[in-house]
Amino acid sequence: MSEHHADLVFTGGPVHTVDPTRPFATSVAVRGEKIVAVGHDEVHDLIGPATEVVDLRGRLLVPGFQDAHVHPVGAGVELGQCDLSGATEASECLARIRTWADAHPDRPWITGGGWSMETFPGGIPSRDLLDAAVPDRPVYLVNRDHHGEWVNTLALELAGVTRLTPDPADGRIERGSDGEPSGVLQEGAMALVARHVPQVTLDEQLTGLLRAQEVLHSHGITAWQDALLGEHASTADPAPAYRRAALEGLLTARVRGALWWDREKGLEQVGKLLARRDTFTVGRIKAHTVKIMQDGIAENGTAALLGPYFTACGCASANAGLSFIEPAELARIVTRLDHEGFQVHFHALGDRAVREALDAVEAALTANGQRGNRHHLAHLQVVDEADVPRFRTLGATANIQALWAAHEPQMDELTIPFLGAKRAARQYPFADLVRSGAVLAAGSDWPVTSPDPLAALHNAVNRKDPGSDRPVFLPEQRITLNAALTAYTAGSAYVNHLDDTGTITPGRLADLAVLDRDIFSRPEEEIAHAGVLQTFVGGQRVHAAADA
C-alpha cells in the first residue's frame, strides 16, 4: 500500500467528532493506529486498492465510549455465578437461587448477586428465605449496589457472627427485634462473612475479564477506569488478571486501574501503592490512580449527609451516614497521594462526602500546587449548591452515573422518603454542573447497573428510563445529547489521561464506534433504542454485530 493511502476509511454517514474545532464530518481516514484525516469527499483521495472502506450508510460514527467507573472483572466473574439481576419478585430470586444451587452441587458456597433492595420489605431480605432455599450450604449474595450482602444462617455461623458481634465502625449488621442478625450485612460489615468465602482463582478472573471485555466492546467501549484494584469484601484483587491479560496480548481495551485505599490503614500503605503502581503498569493497563471510598449509599443510610436522614414517619433520625475517613485525615492522605503523582478517584454519594472530598482536593492544591493529576469524584447523588462551583475552581472532574438519575422503585421507595424533599431535589445535578463549567466524565458502575452507554445517554438527556410511565426525574437537571456524549468520550478520556483519544481528530488514536442510527437526528426519547454495530481500538476491529 502506498504511504499516501489509508488502511481504513469510514464514509457515507454522519460523523460526530466531539472536537469543537470541527464538530461534524462525513468521512474519516485511518492509517495504522491513528486518524489521519477528517472531512468530506476530499478524504476519498486516501482510498487505495488495499484500503478497507466502511460504508456507514447513513449511520453514525462517534469516538469510542470510555467508562470512567466500572468493575469489569467482578462483573465478568458474576456472569458465571448465581445471577439475580433483573429479578423483581422475591419468589423469582429464590427460584433462581434454588435452580443454580441444584445445578452446581459441587460448589461449597453459593455465590453471586444482583438482587435489588426494593424487592424486599425495607430493602432487607431475611436469612430465613435463604435457609429454606439452600439449607445445606452457606450462601453469600451481594446486592445490586455491592454495598450489602444477603447470607443464610449457615454462612453467619461459619463466620461466627452472632447477636454479640458488634457493628464495625464502617458498617452495620442488620438485626431482628430479638437482636439476632437478620441476614444482611452492610458496607464494612460485609467482610465478616466475605473473608470466609472461597476466593476465585486467577484463571477464573482472567476468564471473567475477557468475558467482560467482550461485553464492553459490544457496547462501543474502547477504554475504561477500573474503580477497584485490590481486595474488598469477597472480591479478589483483579490486578493480577489485568497484568496477565496485558502480558499475553489479550487486553484489547485501554485501561486505567484505581488502586484500592485500605481505610483500616493509614499513610504507611503509600509505599505499597507505589510498588503496585510499578507492578501493574504494563502494556494497556496503567495503575496511576488510587480509589478512596468516603461514604456508602443512601438506600441503606450510609451515604454521608450534611443533615440527618428521615425515618419512615417523616421525622429526623439520629443517623447522618458514615464518613469512612475522618476529614482531616482524608486531606492528609490526598495531599500525600497527589504529591506522589497519583490521581485520586473518590466514591462520594452524599453531600457531606462530596464536600469532604472537595476539601481534600483543595488541601492538596494548596500544599502541592496544580500537578495535573486530574482528581475526580464519582456518583455525586446529592451535591450542596455551595459545592457545585468548586468542581471548576479546583479542577475536580464530576464523574456521573446517569442511569441512576430516574424515578424507579429503589429511588421512589427507599431513597426519596429518607432523604426528604429538599435534599432529594439536589440529586444528580448534571445540568448545574455543566452550567458551572465543571468537566463531566461518565461511567456505569457495572455490574451495579447496565454497562450500555447509550442507555446512560438516554437518561442523562431524558432523566427517565426508556418506556417508563413514571414522571421525569428533576427535569431541570437534563443535559443535551452533545454534553452527555462529550462526558462519555472526551470527558472520560480526560479522566483516564488518554489525551490522544476521546475525539475524532487527525493525529489521535482511532478508537471509534459505529452506531446503528444517527441518534442526533432522531427523537431524544429513542436514544436508548440505538445499538452499536462495530467497535475499533487503534484502528483494529474488536467488535462487529451480526448485522454490521
Element (H, E) at 38: strand 34-39
The string of pLDDT tens digits covering residues 139-157 is 999 988 788 899 999 999 9
Q: Do domains 109-194 and 223-495 have the same CATH topology?
A: no
Inform me whether the pLDDT recorded for 314 exceeds 90: no
| Percent with pLDDT over 70 in the chain | 99
Nearest to 490, CA basis, from 456, 433, 442, 422: 442
Please state the three-class secondary structure of 282-324 as a single string. ECCEEEEEEEEECCCCCCCCCCCCCCCCECCCCCECCCCCCCC
Report for 134-143, 162-171, 281-290: range of highest mean pLDDT: 281-290
| Percent with pLDDT over 90 in the chain | 87
Mean pLDDT of 240-250: 98
Output phi, psi for 40, to 5 deg. Answer: -130, -130
Q: Does the reported pTM lie above 0.85?
A: yes
Task: Please tell me the distance from the alpha carbon of residue 469 to that of residue 406, in angstroms, as a whole number.
Answer: 11
Output phi, psi for 414, to 5 deg. Answer: -115, -20
Average pLDDT, rounded, for the chain: 95
Residues sharing a CB contact under 8 Å with residue 307, sequence separation 6 or more, in sequence order = 316, 320, 423
Q: Which CATH superfamily is domain 223-495 in?
A: Metal-dependent hydrolases (3.20.20.140)
Give residue 135's Cα distance to chain centre.
34
String of DSSP letters for 458-487? HHHHHSS-TT--SPPSSGGG---HHHHHHI
Confidence of residue 385 (pLDDT cuts 50, 70, 90): very high
Q: In this predicted structure, what is the pLDDT of residue 87?
A: 86
Contact (Cβ atoms closer than 8 angstroms) between residue 47 and residue 2: no
Task: Please tell me the distance from the alpha carbon of residue 172 to that of residue 316, in angstroms, as a whole number.
Answer: 20
Q: Is the dihedral of CA 419, 422, 423, 426 positive or negative?
A: positive
The string of pLDDT tens digits covering residues 52-85 is 999 999 999 999 999 999 999 999 998 888 988 8
The string of pLDDT tens digits covering residues 168-178 is 988 899 999 99
Nearest to 297, CA basis, from 196, 161, 438, 445: 445
State the helix-helix crossing angle for 270-279 and 327-339, rounded to 10 degrees: 40
Cα 308 to Cα 116, 317, 357, 380: the distances in Å are 24, 6, 19, 18
As a 3-state breakdown, the chain gives helix, strand, coil percent values, each rounded to 5, of: 35, 25, 40
Task: Please tell me the distance from the alpha carbon of residue 447 to that of residue 130, in angstroms, as a whole number.
Answer: 22
Q: Is 339 helix (H, G, I), strand (E, B) or coil?
A: helix
Domain covering 109-194 assigned CATH 3.40.50.300 in the classification: no
**Burial class (CB within 10 angstroms; exposed 0-12, middle 13-18, buried 19+) of 169:** exposed
Inform me whether the pLDDT recorded for 234 exceeds 80: no
The string of pLDDT tens digits covering residues 319-372 is 999 999 999 999 999 999 999 999 999 999 999 999 999 999 999 999 999 999
Mean pLDDT of 510-534: 98
Q: Count the Cβ atoms, other than its own, within 10 Å of residue 293.
A: 24
Residue 281 falls in which region: left (phi positive, over 0), alpha (psi -120 to 50) or beta? beta
Inform me whether the pLDDT recorded for 206 exceeds 70: yes
Task: Please tell me the distance from the alpha carbon of residue 326 to that of residue 287, in angstroms, as a whole number.
Answer: 26
Inform me whether the pLDDT recorded for 29 exceeds 80: yes
Q: What is the DSSP letter of 346?
A: E
Q: In this predicted structure, what is the pLDDT of residue 233?
A: 65
Nearest to 338, CA basis, from 303, 290, 408: 290
Nearest to 93, CA basis, from 146, 56, 129, 140: 129
Inform me whether the pLDDT recorded for 1 exceeds 70: no
Task: Please tell me the distance from the alpha carbon of residue 453 to that of residue 255, in angstroms, as a whole number.
Answer: 17
Q: Any idea which of 389-393, 408-412, 514-518 has the lowest mean pLDDT? A: 408-412
Q: What is the DSSP letter of 231?
A: -
Mean pLDDT of 7-34: 98
Q: In this predicted structure, what is the pLDDT of residue 80?
A: 85
Domain boundaries, the chain: 109-194, 223-495
Cα 211 to Cα 250, 389, 452: the distances in Å are 11, 40, 15
Mean pLDDT of 202-206: 96
Mean pLDDT of 221-231: 97
The string of pLDDT tens digits covering residues 434-459 is 999 999 999 999 998 999 999 999 99
Q: What is the DSSP letter of 88?
A: -
Mean pLDDT of 95-114: 93
Q: In this predicted structure, what is the pLDDT of residue 440?
A: 98
Mean pLDDT of 498-521: 98
Inform me whether the pLDDT recorded for 296 exceeds 90: yes
Inform me whether the pLDDT recorded for 2 exceeds 60: no
**Burial class (CB within 10 angstroms; exposed 0-12, middle 13-18, buried 19+) of 114:** buried
